Structure formats: C-alpha cells, structure tokens
Amino acid sequence: MKFINRHNELSALEDRFRKNQSEFFIVYGKRRVGKTELIKQFIKDKPSAYFLADKRSMKLQLQEVGRIIGEQFNDEVLMRAGFEEWLEVFQYLGKHVRPNKPFIFAIDEYPYLVEIDKSISSIFQKGWDEYLKNSGVCFILSGSSIAMMESETLIYTAPLYGRRTGQLLLTPLSFTQAHEFFPATSFQEFLSIFTIMGGMPAYLLQYHAHKSRQENMRDAIFEKTAFLHNEVEFTLKEELREPKQYMAIIEAIAKGCAQFGHISNATGLEKNTLTKYLHVLQKLQLIAREVPVSEKHPQKSRKSIYTISDQFFRFWFRFVYPYKSDIEIGRLNEVEKKLHEEFSLLESVTHEQICRDDLVNQYSKQLFPFERVGRWWNNDEEIDIVALNTPTDSVLFAECKWSNKAVGTNVYDDLKRKAALVDFGSMNRKEYYALFSKSGFTKAMIEKAKKEKVLLIEEDRLLK
C-alpha cells in the first residue's frame, strides 16, 4: 500500500534529521490516525531501531529492545542477552552512536511502558540527560493515549518536560487529503465515505470503492467480527477509566442534547463532574465546544453548545449504538431504514465542515486573513459560516446547501438579512458573501453573484 499524504509531517521529521544533531521528538494522536506508518516511512532507509511497546513484562520487552538494537550494530551478544534495564539502553546508544552518523531510536506506544512502571519517564529523563543529549541520536516517543502522552512528556509537571526538542500532534486527514484513498470517486461519492469514516487512515482502508455503501457498512461495521464493530468501545476503554459515563455523554449529544444543562439532565451527572468529563472528551478531540463566532468572550459565553467532532463517532452513535441489540443478531432492517431516512442529514453536517475548511485553505487569501471562523446563531437564526477579522473590519458570511435543488437568490437574500443581525465591527464594515451548493445555482443567482461579487462554490469548484 502506498503512503498517502502526511507530506508536511514527514517533511518536518526529515528537516530534524538533516540537522545532524540530537533530537527528542514526541509524536502523539488518536488510535488509528497513522502515527506508526508515519514513523516507519520516516525511518525507512535510515540507520534506525523501531520498538513497539506492549503490555508484556518489562524484562521481556528489554530483551526485545536488545535484539532490535543489537541487529543494527551487529552485536550478537546483545541480541542474545538483551538489556537488563532501560538506562543500559541509553548508555549503549550514547556509546555507539556518533554525532556525524545520526541514528533514530523510536519507541511506539510509550504509554504501555508507563502503565508497567510509573517511574519510567524519570528513568528516560536521566537517560536523555546523561547519555543521549549530545549523542546525535534522534529519539522518538510515540503514543495513542493523548492524556498520558501530555502528562508524561509535555505539560509543566511532566518528568520529561523541557527535554523534548519538538512535538507533533497527528490529526485525522482533511477531506482533500483523505480523498487520495479513493481518487476515482466523485466529490459526492467520497463525501458519503468521509461522513462515515472521517479522516482516519485505518478506517478508510476498511472501505472498498467497488462495494455499495450498504455493503461496506455491513462488512466493515455491522458484522460482529468486523474491524470497526467495537472500535468506539475499544477506543474509550483504552483512554478512559470510566468509559460508560463518557459513552452516556456522547450518546446524549448524538441525540441532540447540545447544551450543558440538557446533557446533565440526560446523563444525571452533576455539574462539576460533567464539566470535567466534557473537558476530557474535548482533549481527546471527540467532541467540540462551540459558541457563536462573534462572541467577545468565548470562554465565558452562556451560548455554548457541544457537538461530536469525530466523524466515525458521530456516525456510530447515531446509527450503530442505538441498534446494537438488533445488529448483534443480524437484524438490520431498522438501522438500514434509519440510514435511508437520515444519512443525508449527517452528510450535510460533514459538508458544512468541509466548506469551512475550504474557505480557510483556499479562499481566505483572495478575501482577507481570517482571525476566527465558525458558526453564528441567536435564539431564532443561524448562519453556517462566519469569518471575521477585527483589525481590517472585515466579515464573510456563507451558507452551505446539501440538497438536490439548485441554490437560488432567495438563499442569498436571506443570508444578507441574517448578516445584519450579527454584532461585529463598525457600521462601515466590509462584508463578503459565499454560497456552497451540492447541486449548483439558478441562472438568476449566477447573474446576481457576478454583479455583487458573491463567491459561488459548486461541490468543490469555484464558479468563476
């Protein structure tokens, strides 16, 4: 399988290696996001040792580390005997690696080592300080437990704080990046795939373009032995001590309980407990807290709502979790009926996210630099996308329509009416407008857009 995208991330690692100096680099991100493949691509054809940690005893793992490093240095004694303790690993590398001949030592799933020995980060701190800091070793620690990677390596109280020379939080692929998995599919076809799988490489590999959407969901998700059947539970159990409480919170949000009070009522969790749990889910990039983009003090805003930000979680909690009993016995009529009725609604949520990313990545340069981008709403009205810049007194308003009807002037006129309600900038603010459509635009809208310089984007194509 060819390595897809991650050009920027790979380039960042290559730049570090070319400096020919000691590096202590942290790579972390959600399970299945592609950390291991990125590291393997980076170390390919370079002097290196890669070790995947697990839950075996530390003695057995140190024996394996000895074998792996021994192979790289043609040390048959080390290959047979292994190491007795981790400081020996650092001593050995410090002695055998020369600054003019850089060497990469990568440890994947580092949190497993922390679970076995809580003092491991302090040992690694000593090993780096005494043996590797000036050795020319490019030392990489990687892990899927975001919370543990931060607590052990990144935050101020972490044992390894201040030792790292760089870090990379690997996030899911964007829509455009992920489309490389299915280059022959149309925008609409891939948006359907992305709505289910999101930008997680391991999930996208489970989807087969030659099968129908229904067949793919049956084979990759609904089937009890399928890779993704219990993926959500596995992910939460791996990361959290009380997965049931977090499941209840995400389920409530999936059912439409967007406000804090509604989530509290649905789950029965008290305010302080719920606040803590919501914060954890945000750190794990599973949910997002949103406020109207024009709010002057977002952190203090009482208008906040919570949404599921992970595509697969959003799909799973809407179409799998409520029907788990039926799916377990192979009775799929109800879930497939629900999918037929509501899947396009989920596609529209994904489409809005893609439109927002599109504006930021492709059109902000020709309009104005965006300081903030997000949704806007009050009690009665909502605008899909609003982008702001305070110093230039500029604002952009956009609507995203995922329907089979061409977008007409009525949508644009209504957008201008709602724009007047947004409290931002001066009376003379510079206003820009954009419309995104799945099914194109009416002739009248195209003519009006020419006169009033409105951006019209059909699927992913800007109509000049």
The residues that bridge with 24 in the sheet, in sequence order, are: 139
Weakest-pLDDT range from 36-40, 56-60, 99-103, 453-457: 99-103
What CA–CA distance (Å, rounded) separates 172 from 174?
6
Residue 370, pLDDT > 90, answer yes
Tokens describing residue 396: 């952009």
Q: Are 111 and 149 in contact (CB under 8 A)?
A: yes
Residue 356 has pLDDT above 90, yes or no: yes
Instruction: Please say whether the beta carbons of 424 and 373 come within 8 A.
Output: no
Rounded (5°) CA angle 233-236-242: 110
Instruction: Give tens-digit pLDDT for 148-176.
Output: 898 899 888 888 988 989 999 999 999 99
- Rounded CA-CA distance 267/134 in Å is 53
Q: Is a pLDDT exceeding 90 seen at residue 428?
A: yes
Q: What amino acid is encoded at 158 in this protein?
A: A
- Closest alpha carbon to 437 in 366, 348, 375, 377: 348
Contact between 180 and 147 under an 8 Å Cβ cutoff? The reply is: no
Confidence band for 2, pLDDT divided at 50, 70 and 90: low
**Maximum pairwise Cα distance, the chain:** 80
Confidence tier at 146 by pLDDT (50, 70, 90): confident
Is 340's pLDDT higher than 60? yes
Q: Residue 101 forms beta bridges with which residues?
A: 98
Provide DSSP, 267-327. Answer: H---HHHHHHHHHHHHHTTSEEEE--TT-SSGGG-TT-EEEE--HHHHHHHHHTGGGHHHH
Distance between CA atoms of 136 and 98, rounded to whole angstroms? 6
pLDDT digits (tens, 9 = 90+) for 92-142: 999 999 877 889 999 999 999 999 999 999 999 999 999 999 888 999 999
| Residue 464 banded pLDDT, cuts 50, 70, 90 | low
For the segment 333-356, the average pLDDT, to the nearest whole number, is 93
* The pLDDT value given to residue 418: 97
Residue 5 has pLDDT above 80, yes or no: no
Q: What residues does 108 pair with on adjacent strands?
A: 52
Q: Which sign does the torsion angle of CA 287, 292, 295, 301 carry?
A: negative
Q: CB neighbours (10 Å) of residue 186? A: 10
For 140, the token pair is 């990489």
Q: What is the pLDDT of residue 274?
A: 96
At 147, is the pLDDT very low, low, confident or very high (cuts 50, 70, 90)? confident
Distance, CA of 323 to chain centre = 26
CA distance 232 to 239: 11
Mean of all residue pLDDT scores within the chain? 93
- The full DSSP string for 413-432 is HHHHHHHTT---S-TT-EEE
Cβ atoms of 146 and 153 closer than 8 Å: no
User: Could you tell me the two tokens for 100?
Assistant: 């003019």
Domains of the chain in sequence order: 7-169 (3.40.50.300), 177-340 (1.10.10.10), 350-462 (3.40.1350)
On whether the CB atoms of residues 432 and 411 are closer than 8 A, the answer is no
The pTM score is: 0.90
Comparing C-alpha atoms, which of 256, 265, 281, 410 is closest to residue 342? 256
388, two tokens: 């702001």
Give the Cα separation of 248 and 388 in Å (integer): 35
Say if residue 287's pLDDT is above 90. Answer: yes
Residues 6+ apart with CB under 8 A from 160: 24, 121, 124, 125, 128, 141, 152, 153
E strand segments, 278-371: 287-290, 305-308
Tell me if residue 374 falls in helix, strand or coil.
Answer: strand
